[in-house]
Amino acid sequence: MTVKALPNPAKRRAYPSSVDAKYTVDAVDKAMVVLMTVAREPDLGLSEIARRSGELKARTFRLLRTLEARGMVVCRESDRTYRLGYNALALGGLARRQVELFQRARPVLMRLGRDVVETIQLRVRDGDQTMCIASWEPARDTKVRAQIGCHRPIHAGSGKLFLAHCDEDFQDRILSLPLLRLTERTTVDPDDLRRQLATINRQGYAITQGEVETGYVSICAPVFGADGQMVAAINVASPQDRMASDEVARIVPLVKAAARTLSTALGWRMGGGDRARPESIGPNPVCRPPVKP
């Protein structure tokens, strides 16, 4: 049995605060929505891609044909379904080689995965959500299936680790919004969530149970960059029936150690250097590291 990660709850997100919408190109934006729909869920037909991307069927068809002409998607003639083309795969490979975080993280995720024999994810913040950009999965029948590109709301599950490290203005904005209840265990009361964030910030890691999808546990720790800002989270995800208290106690220090190793590889030093000012780090000002990751 495979426990699937929750799909993206929002078909389209607002632009980051640093992007002025008046300078964006609508056709490019819509093409990217269609492309990411195909990337996350290959082998869908035209009608389903249009529905999931929120576009008219006729426009979706034109966008797909344009992407197909550029080798970004391919259409399987037998059933007229779409998946990524070779140019998209090549682009992804080039991007991975250029992203230091991804390069540095791969051996760390692999070592941690072999130690805990559970699914490992590397998540980053993307606006008001978090996104999985790398993963390692064990060779066992029952596991959490990590979906690269999968988004989750920042107020639930491992997202709370990011929210705990954001500045107070960002926290206030998120907590002033109606919080989506994903499961019966999702915290949607702002006061309760503030108390949880304070605990997460104080202890330097987060443990959540069934907040995004019923039946699995998340244990995660923050990764910091050279400027002292939180840049990612390393997350262990497991079916809940394998996470007894003694197993959680075993895994927590391993996750923290892995996060510390990756932080050090990125140039972070405990107690060294000043943190970057929020305005200097673009649309996702993740902030305030604790004493240690």
DSSP codes of every residue in the chain: -EEEPPPPS-SS-PPPTTS-GGGS-HHHHHHHHHHHHHHHS-SEEHHHHHHHHT--HHHHHHHHHHHHHTTSEEEETTTTEEEE-HHHHHHHHHHHHH-HHHHHHHHHHHHHHHHH-SEEEEEEEETTEEEEEEEE--SSSSEEE--TT-EEETTSTTHHHHHHTB-HHHHHHHHHSPPP--STT----HHHHHHHHHHHHHHT-EEEESSSSTTEEEEEEEEE-TTS-EEEEEEEEEEGGG--HHHHHHHHHHHHHHHHHHHHHTT--TT-SPPPPGGGSTT--B----S--
**Closest by Cα among 231, 254, 247 to 161:** 231
Is the predicted pLDDT of residue 96 greater than 90, yes or no? no
Q: How confident is the model over 58-77, as a mean pLDDT? A: 95
pLDDT of residue 282: 31
Give percent of the chain above pLDDT 70: 84
pLDDT of residue 269: 87
pLDDT (0 to 100) of residue 274: 37
Q: pTM for the full model?
A: 0.69
pLDDT tens-digit map of 10-41: 344 444 544 556 677 889 999 999 999 999 88
pLDDT tens digits, one per residue of 123-165: 999 889 999 999 999 998 889 988 888 889 999 999 999 999 9
Q: Pull the structure tokens for residue 239.
A: 């079916």
Pairwise CA distance, residues 251 & 129, whole Å: 25
Round to whole Å and give the CA distance between 145 and 150.
11
| pLDDT (0 to 100) of residue 21 | 63
Is a pLDDT exceeding 70 seen at residue 230?
yes
| Distance of alpha carbon 37 from alpha carbon 81, whole angstroms | 12
**Mean per-residue pLDDT for 70-85?**
94
pLDDT band per the 50, 70, 90 thresholds, residue 1: very low
Instruction: Tell me what pLDDT residue 20 has.
Output: 57
CA distances from 249 to 5, 162, 225 (A): 24, 22, 26
Give the pLDDT confidence score for residue 118 in this predicted structure: 96
Q: What is the mean pLDDT of the chain?
A: 85
- Check: CB of residue 267 under 8 Å from CB of residue 225: yes
pLDDT for residue 271: 64
**pLDDT at residue 71 in the model:** 93
Min mean pLDDT across 97-111, 126-140, 223-237, 272-286 is at: 272-286
